[in-house]
Structure 1
C-alpha cells in the first residue's frame, strides 16, 4: 500500500512543477509584450539633412529689399506748348503724381515751359513712356536709378540704436534719487533726442525720395515758326508793301506832330525871300 501511495505523490509533484514552469513562461511573455520598445534615436545623417534646409529657409526669409531713387530729365521740341502741357498734367494725375514746379518763358530763339513732376516710383517707367509718345527725338533724355539701400540701412540702424539708448537713460532716470543725477541724465536725454530727430528727418526724406520719383521736363517751340519763316514769296512782297506804307504813315504823322515849326519855317523863308532875294 505504501509503494502505491508514493507513486501517486511523485506523479502529482511532477505535474505541478511543469504547470508552474508553463505559467512562469506565459507571465514573462505577457510582461515582455506589454513593455513598449524605446523610440529609435535620430541618426546623425538625418539631422544633417534637416539642418541645412532650416538654415536655407531662414536665409530666404531675411531678404533685403533694395531702395532705389529714380530721377529723369527730358527736353524736346513741340509744335503746341499748351497741348503738350495738358498732356503732361493729365498723365501725371492719372498715375498719382503732381506738378511740383511750373516755369515758362521766352528767349531769343524759343518759347519754353519747364515742369518738375513727382510720380510714384512704381509708375515711373509708364509715365516716361506716355510722355514720349509723339516726340520725334529728345534733345536731352537722362534716366537714373540710384541704389540707396546701404545709406537707408545705416540711417535706420543708427536711429534704432539711439532709441535704445534713450530707453536705457529713461530707465536710469526712474531709478535716480539725487537732483544732480537727474539733471545729468536729462541733459544726456536732450542730446540723444536731438540726434534722433535729425536721423528721423534724414530717414523720412530718403523714404520720400524712394517712394516719389522726380522728373524734370522742358519742352519748347522755336520762335521762327511763329514769325512766318516758311512764308511764300508773294506773302513776303505783300508784307514789304505793308511795311513801306507803315513807314510812310509814320513819317507823315511825324511831320504833323511838328506843324508849328513848319509854319514858322515857311514864314521866315517868305520874309527872307521878299526882303533880300526878290530885289536881286
Structure 2
C-alpha cells in the first residue's frame, strides 16, 4: 500500500512540473521569432575564418640634399619601377635659394627593405632617415571579426523583417537595418585602408637642392618681355578709349552746343 501511495505522489509531482503543452511551446517560439529586440551579436566564432597572421604597416621618411634634384628623382623612379612601386604624390616648392621636392611613394611591403636600401645609392646625400614598423594585427583581426558579426546580424534582421506583420514593426526593423549597413560600410572602409597600408608600404622622400636649378630669365628676355607688356598696355588703352565712344560723342556734342550758345549770346549783346 505504501509503495502504491509513493508511486501516486511521484506521478502527481511529474504532472505538475513536467513540460507544458505543445500549443504553449509553439506560442513561445512564435514570440521569440517576431520579437523586435536586437538579436544577439555573434561572437565571431562561426564558420568564417579570420586571418591571424602578423600584420605590420611599414613606413619610412628619408631626406636628401643634392645639387641636381632631377637626376635624383629620375633614379628614384627607376628603382620604383623595378620594384613595382608607384609615386602617389609629388610636390615642389621654391624659395630664394632652395628648391624643396616632396615625393610620397608606395612599394609592396615585401620590397620595402630593398627600396630603402637602394635609395642610399641615388646621386644625393642622405641627411635623415626614419623607419617605422607598426603592428596592427589586433586591430586587423578585431575589424574583420566586427564586419563578419555585423553581416551575420544584418541577415538576422532581414529574417525578422520577413516575419514581421505590423507596419510599425517593419519600419523599426528597416531603421535598424539602415544603421547596421552604415556601420558595416564604416568598418569595411577602415578594413580596406588597413589592407592597403599593409600591402603597400609608404615611403616619404624629401629632397633639398639649390634654386639655381630653376631656369632664370636672361636680361635680354626681360627687356623683350617689358616691351611686349608695354605694347599690351597700349593696346588695352586704345581699346578702352574706343569702347567709351558714346561718352566721347556726347562730350563733343555738348562742347559744340555750348560754343554755339556762346556765339549767339555774343551776337545778341552786339546788337544791343
What TM-score, normalized to structure 1?
Answer: 0.55
Could you tell me how far apart the structure 2 residues matched to 1:63 and 1:81 are?
43
Report Cα offsets for 1:103-157 as digits up to 9, x if no partner: 1232244223211111111111111111111567522100101001111111111
State whether structure 2 residue 162 is matched by structure 1 residue 177: no
Could you tell me how far apart the structure 2 residues matched to 1:135 and 1:182 are?
68
2:61 is aligned to 73
* Distance change >3 Å, CA 134–CA 95, structure 1 → 2: closer
Could you tell me how far apart the structure 1 residues matched to 2:75 and 2:113 are?
16
* Distance change >3 Å, CA 82–CA 224, structure 1 → 2: closer
2:180 is aligned to 192
2:189 is aligned to 201
Could you tell me how far apart the structure 1 residues matched to 2:154 and 2:51 are?
29
Gap regions ≥5 residues in structure 2: 1-49, 215-272
State whether structure 2 residue 176 is matched by structure 1 residue 150: no
* Distance change >3 Å, CA 63–CA 189, structure 1 → 2: closer
What is the aligned counterpart of 1:103 among 76, 91, 98? Answer: 91
Higher relative contact order (CA 8 A, sep 6+): 2
State whether structure 2 residue 110 is matched by structure 1 residue 126: no
1:113 is aligned to 101
Could you tell me how far apart the structure 2 residues matched to 1:84 and 1:136 are?
6
> What is the Cα deviation at residue 174 of structure 1?
1.5
> What is the Cα deviation at residue 75 of structure 1?
0.5
CA contact (8 A) 1:68 1:146 kept: yes
CA contact (8 A) 1:74 1:216 kept: yes
Gap regions ≥5 residues in structure 1: 1-61, 227-280
What TM-score, normalized to structure 2?
Answer: 0.56
CA RMSD of superposed structures (Å): 2.4
* Distance change >3 Å, CA 170–CA 63, structure 1 → 2: closer
Count of residues paired in the alignment = 166
* Distance change >3 Å, CA 142–CA 175, structure 1 → 2: same
* Distance change >3 Å, CA 190–CA 224, structure 1 → 2: closer
Counterpart mapping for 1:9-88 below 5 A:
64-88=52-76
CA contact (8 A) 1:81 1:112 kept: no
CA contact (8 A) 2:99 2:211 kept: yes
